[in-house]
Amino acid sequence: MAEEQAQSLDGIPLLASLTKPERVELARQCRFKRYLAGEHIIDMEADGRDVHFVLEGTVRVVNYSPTGREVTLDDIGPGGYFGELAAIDNGPRSAFVMPQGGFSVTAAMPSPVFLAVLARKPVIGLEIMRRLARMVRQSDNRIMDLSTLGAQHRIQAELMRQAAQLSSDGRTAVISPIPLHADLASRVSTTRETVARVLNDLARDGIVERQKSALVIHDLQRLTSLVEEVRGR
């Protein structure tokens, strides 16, 4: 039963509009694989065109600067997917993807199968376009922040982004597990030491609190103000 559940696409929101028999047929055409920490699921500039659906664990999408600094682009959890760019434009992979944590399980769908689904189900194609639009907007915001904000405010902006996604009241949020300094530094192109200093400053001002397994944002509105003032909004 566990093996059957692992090789199912029923938990993928993108495919929720398909019937159960349609998802079963697609699953038959996928390759299911478990990746351990340290393994690469996708390598940048590789020629693969498969679209991967995340069934278990979380994967991290990263690139590396010429000096070897890791730049985190995204974390994708269960139900998410990646690799659609290469499937759509037939170009090489644009980033590295690897398990984040202990392991990840993905279902790799061949690009001809994926493209056939898009052609047959316009609602899925529309959701892909919405995702790509979000990616463009996020990239624009990241470029603007890197161009106009200092390291301190880039860290604040990243905390604000994560907290806003998790907040239920717009005022407070709990980020759990607690973000590692190295992860935050990778996301905003700075150093772990700078992240530690900024978090200490925010904690001293009562905006955040580091607990055993979480970072509590006590004043999301004030954190937002710190960033928006510098952005000139």
Residue-range domains of the chain with CATH: 2-146 (2.60.120.10), 149-231 (2.60.120.10)
Confidence category of residue 6, pLDDT binned at 50, 70, 90: low
Residue 153 CA to residue 173 CA, distance in Å, equals 19
pLDDT of residue 3 exceeding 90: no
Question: What is the per-residue pLDDT across 157-197, written as a single tens digit (0 to 9) for each?
Answer: 999 989 998 999 989 999 998 888 998 998 898 999 999 99
- From the number of C-beta atoms within 10 Å of its C-beta (0-12, 13-18, 19+), residue 20 rates as exposed
Question: What is the per-residue pLDDT across 207-225, written as a single tens digit (0 to 9) for each?
Answer: 999 998 899 999 999 999 9
> pTM of the prediction?
0.79
103-185-53 Cα angle (round to 5): 30
Residue 101 CA to residue 89 CA, distance in Å, equals 30
Helix (H, G, I), strand (E, B) or coil at 102: strand
Residue 209 CA to residue 203 CA, distance in Å, equals 6
Mean pLDDT, all residues of the chain: 92
